[in-house]
Amino acid sequence: MINAAIVGLGWWGQNHVTATKGSDKIRFTRAIDLAPDNVRGFCDENGLALTDRIEDAYEDPDIDAIVLVTPHTQHADQVVAGAKAGKHILTEKPFALKKADGERAAKAMQDAGLTLGIGHNYRYGAAVWEMKKIIDAGKLGEVHHIEGNLSHQGQLGVEGWRRSREEAPTGGIVHFGAHIIDIMCWYGGPMREVYAQLESRIIENDVGSVLTKFESGATGYLGNLMTTPASFHLQVMGSEGWARANGWMDTNRLVTCFGAGKPEESGGHTEEIELEYRDIFTQLRANDENFAAACLGEEDYLFTPEEMVHTAAIHEAIAKSAERGQPTAV
């Protein structure tokens, strides 16, 4: 069991606490929020010591790990400070918006021998997890193309740092698109080039799309809209078949098609698979508990620091590509 502090008690920070209630791996005992009066009731209900200084988490000898739900541009400095304080750190996505920031944050944690975590709970979703197993088993053959679109209306009417150009230079690509970037790299390996475009239809940069090339030679497509009803699409296409998930990120349904490349099976054999349901709280708990177990040396963590740094490089390249209007190396 590790004792953790949560920094940032907005709706998602509160979800971390709620999702891990009763866990035998991680327990939140301290909370840091810049507006403590707004969250005092929640903290009282959940037994959290509440202050408004992040230094209180760094300096607390009873705190083993810190979970950061803070503005994106602050992550790197906060991770470095956490490493200096000897705390394991899990930061919400995106890990960083620039490669150099990601590199220095990851290096600080590695040099200190501490566990670095990232808030990509969707890797633990039923359909996303099963698709990874299918790819690793070679059932799709060689992966040729990956595409994903995760869109929603969650930024309509939102004010504050999440809507600022500094924190979200590519709009929804930074917000929910970050999850698709992580999944695409989990499936296809590192990206080597991106070609991005952004449009502002209702709010700034609310329509975004990115063509990608992977180091493996595979191609990809990433899309995100911030002003359309919630929608999720993920498909991996290979030399021997494809796998597809639709709906939302908690979907437990997966469609597969095998037999591609065989003239006698030109249409392939399509099958719908129904998996055990994992809601968002189950996914979030799975990530936090996997991180906690890794802190204790009991499990390997599902993410590597190298993967986290690479996503920071991708975000930086996407922003540059959108600004320049041309393909950009990652």
At 153 the pLDDT is: 84
Helical axes 280-295 vs 11-19, angle rounded to 10°: 70
Q: What is the mean pLDDT of residues 23-42?
A: 97
> Which homologous superfamily does the CATH classification assign to the domain defined by 126-282+311-329?
Dihydrodipicolinate Reductase; domain 2 (3.30.360.10)
Cα–Cα–Cα angle for 39, 43, 47, nearest 5°? 175
Helical axes 177-188 vs 305-324, angle rounded to 10°: 120
pLDDT, one tens digit per residue, over 51-93 is 999 999 999 999 999 999 999 999 999 999 999 999 999 999 9
Enumerate the β-bridge partners of residue 65.
Answer: 4, 88
Q: What is the mean pLDDT of residues 297-311?
A: 98
CA dihedral angle for residue 6, residue 10, residue 12, residue 18, rounded to 10 degrees: 60
**Contacts of 265 by beta carbon, 8 Å cutoff, 6+ apart:** 259
What are 8's two structure tokens?
Answer: 């940032």
Q: How do beta strands 26-32 and 2-7 pair?
A: parallel
What are 212's two structure tokens?
Answer: 């990608």
CA atoms of 233 and 127, how far apart (whole Å): 11
Residue 267 has pLDDT above 70, yes or no: no
At 262 the pLDDT is: 56
Judge contact between 259 and 269, C-beta under 8 A: yes
CA atoms of 184 and 58, how far apart (whole Å): 34
Closest CA to 213 of 193, 188, 237: 193
What are 305's two structure tokens?
Answer: 């620091």
Instruction: Give, as one character, the DSSP assignment of residue 53.
Output: -
Quick check: do 2-122 and 126-282+311-329 share a fold? no
Query: Between the CA of residue 229 and those of 117, 135, 160, 178, what are the distances in Å?
Result: 30, 30, 22, 18
**Could you tell me the strand order of the sheet in which 241-247 lies?**
269-274, 253-258, 241-247, 231-238, 143-151, 219-225, 207-214, 191-199, 328-329
At 269 the pLDDT is: 85
Judge contact between 79 and 108, C-beta under 8 A: yes
At 166 the pLDDT is: 87
Judge contact between 219 and 145, C-beta under 8 A: yes
- At 180, is the pLDDT very low, low, confident or very high (cuts 50, 70, 90)? very high
Instruction: Give, as one character, the DSSP assignment of residue 39.
Output: H
Residue 260 has pLDDT above 70, yes or no: no
Sorted by where each begins, the domain ranges of the chain are 2-122, 126-282+311-329
- DSSP 3-state assignment of 75? helix
Specify the CATH number for 2-122; select among 3.20.20.70, 1.10.357.10, 3.40.50.300, 3.40.50.720.
3.40.50.720
What are 276's two structure tokens?
Answer: 């055990």
Terminal CA-CA length for the chain = 38
Residue where the block lists tokens 């990874």: 132
Other Cβ atoms closer than 10 A to 40: 15
